[in-house]
Amino acid sequence: MVDYRLNDEHEQLRLSVRSFATKEVAPVIGDYYEREEFPYPLVSGMARMGLFGLPVAEEYGGMGGDYLALCVALEELARVDSSVAVTLEAGVSLGVMPIYRFGDQRQRERWLPGLASGEMLGAFGLTEPGGGSDAGATRTTAELRGSEWVINGSKAFITNSGTDMTGLITVTAVTGTKPDGGNEISTIIVPAGTPGLTVAPKYSKVGWNASDTHELAFDDCRVPAENLLGERGRGYAQFLATLTEGRVAIAALGVGLAQGCVDECLRYVDERSAFGRKIGENQAIQFKLADMELRAHTARLAYYDAADRMLRGEPYQKQAAIAKLASSDAAMDNARDATQVFGGYGFMNETPVGRFYRDAKILEIGEGTSEVQRMLIARELGLPAR
């Protein structure tokens, strides 16, 4: 029988990150959120704990752990705040892992020590202003001229792309035409500060307000030919693999938010009285909390299952899509119910559940919309693609 209890190493990591989240993040994150300010001291704290290098081999400056360790850390961070959690999630699953999975030895030795230590952040330049889910319709181009790639185009909604710590952006671009007439898409490493790369002002966002998100423009941006990541023309396959892996991580983040809603409500219903008794004594509230715990628990099992299959080297595309879909649904439903439990206070940004409510919606959009997850699950069931 499958045992989904964490082993001792993962449990110790969970407790350590839980302590950091409650003692270091919780007391200050509300101020960062309201100021829409990137929390550099908290990110440095995560770096000192080795969180950015959790799934990276020690030879590259990592912790030598596995991807489940990253997921466990993300869940515990998101129980308190999603901005901090998504900074880690994007920094590792979208920043570190493409270099780790597809980079050559020289690229790994150059970039991974800084990324794994958290001294620098990596970003993943995939989404474009004119296309989100249809990433195959990439318009950004990269032309090989002599010993340089010359990149032109733009990217949208890129996390960790404009911080003082940003070290590189891996960019998907059209590098030619395939024999069937389709676009040949490749991935190219663009160091931060490269001439021709312009980082637009930060977005004004509904949620994740203490994370960093920008639009990027490339105007004859030149990088060495050796900055090609992996094989030319394999960029589409690379980002599909990156997103599949990332869905497990973002699912863990969604579970953390869903569980955080339960945590906050349990505290509140024991403090708040109405009509002469604690509101936690009302069966309607108890049933609501029971449903919230049910959602968080089942979504957690879904991402545990996907992570386990990934680590075993088994196919896990369907399970990753299920985990991402289940966790984003749980986060949205729990955030809505938590806001209702808190009443007027739940509508205030100063409360964690107010921030949870604002943060939850993007989980149904980012790293593959809920519609895309349903499409992927349907295809894995053998249903025809359109």
Positions marked catalytic: 367
CB 95 within 8 A of CB 148: no
> What six digits make up the tokens of 136?
């195959």
CA 121 to chain centre: 13
Phi/psi at 184 (nearest 5 deg)?
-85, 115
Task: Go through 184-217 and write b for each residue having 16 or more CB atoms within 10 A of its CB, e for each that does not.
Answer: bbbbbbbbbebeebebeebbebebbbbbbbbbbb
Let me know: does 48 contact 84? Beta carbons within 8 Å: no
List of residues 6+ apart from 327 with CB closer than 8 A: 250, 251, 252, 253, 254, 255, 258, 299, 302, 303, 363
Contact 355, 33 (CB under 8 A): yes
CB of 85 within 8 A of CB of 42? no
Burial 297-317 (b: 16+ CB within 10 A, else e): eebbebbbbbbbbbeeeeebb
Q: At what angle do helices 40-48 and 82-89 cross, to 10 degrees?
A: 50
